[in-house]
Amino acid sequence: MNRKHPILITALALLSGPLVAQHSPLTARANTLADKLEPKVIEHRRYFHEHPELSNREVKTAERIAQELKKLGIAVETGIAKTGVVGVLKGGKPGPVVALRADMDALPVTERADLPFASKAKGEYNGQPVGVMHACGHDTHVAMLLGAAEVLASMQKDLKGTVKFIFQPAEEGAPAGEEGGASLMVKEGVLDKGPKPEVIFGLHINSQTEVGTLKYRPGGIMAGADVFRIRVKGKQVHGASPWHGVDPVVTSAQIINGLQTIISRQVELTEDAAVITVGSIHGGVRNNIIPEEVVMEGTVRALNTRMQQQIHEKIRLTATKIAESAGAVAEVEIQAMAPVTFNDPELTEKMLPTLQAVAGKDRVVHMKAMTGAEDFAFYQQQIPGLFVFVGGMPKGQDPAKAPAHHTPDFYVDESGMKLGVKTLTNLTLDYMERRSKR
């Protein structure tokens, strides 16, 4: 992954010296506006929560977002990467272009939370009827970015630059056979067409982080994610006489065990963490028939791009050679889903005082890396980016008992969204202010 962004020399060099960890008159004004807008942001969130739509199907969501942006006088483009929406707000003064991103798709999860605005929506996923729920907080991301858009639009004449609001579909992954998400947004020119941003900021609500807290990490903050499929071909035979065939079931078991030694014995764990998980295995139809083939599928998570590529090579070598030793054949397919979510170290250092100013220094936490993945990484491959987590857990709750993301009981304390709005606006304003002082 190329981390040598050309604009680092011109843009980040201008951010020399730490930002002052205090509110400027403009950010103070933005924070006051964010406080006043909190009820509206909550209203936005409840609408999107009650009306969720699956990946690449966010038609009504996109329509609502476009309507809200147009009300603010923001130029809007729709239909990017199927249902994506982009708004452009040109400030009254010259300056850099800053991109802000929110994802807007829901998950095939049936909601159990007892909320007056709980989702009752139904949909279809991989041909199966499913409940649909914002079980990862993307509804809050949309609401917070709409709130930030309203704050920034209200001070348009004072903005020292341009803001590009990116509302992205399919972060959770496009349906089978379709393209989608941040990779398709980038492919269709979201960062190149129109005003070209030199940095991008994004955030994610977290149901197990207390309200009022921000979490950050320079470098790899979330893992790159890949999907692998291994097809083991043997020779079908009666289960009573396995010596007449080649057993792909036993071979697959050996391959699964072998894959675990890649992490434990073949990569340098002191450098970065990585995970190989086999999540499904299918083969055979009857207890006394050794089948002709077995198919297993799994995921690779890595926080280091070089290590990620090394793991791919080791998976192919391990599977094919173990199969060969048993007289079987292993076919390995590995599909990249998302790169490492990589916070540009220089940008993170320069914007850290902004995070501390908006949340309070004691409420900004340097976090451990997560092995979950986030396709915000595709934007960070093109321009420097900073991705942070904002707390959505009620104060005083035990994080271990808080409902996790992607579950039917997922819950977000809406009072945490105000900090998200302030974070997005403060990052934008502070970056513009520093860049204007050439």
Q: Report the b/e string of 170-194 with b at 16+ CB within 10 A.
A: bbbbbbeeeebbbbbbbebebbeee
CA distance 244 to 289: 12
For residue 287, give the 3-state DSSP assignment: coil
105 catalytic residue (yes or no): yes
Q: What is the pLDDT of residue 15?
A: 54
For residue 184, give the 3-state DSSP assignment: helix
The closest of 381, 54, 371, 343 to 187, measured between CA atoms, is: 381
Q: What is the pLDDT of residue 426?
A: 98
Quick: pLDDT tens for 377-418.
999 999 999 999 999 999 999 999 999 999 999 999 999 999
**Annotated catalytic residue: which of 68, 103, 105, 374?**
105
Number of separate helices (H) and strands (E) present in the chain: 10, 18
171 catalytic residue (yes or no): yes
**Annotated catalytic residue: which of 53, 68, 111, 171?**
171
pTM score above 0.85: yes
Quick: pLDDT tens for 21-68.
567 899 999 999 999 999 999 999 999 999 999 999 999 999 999 999
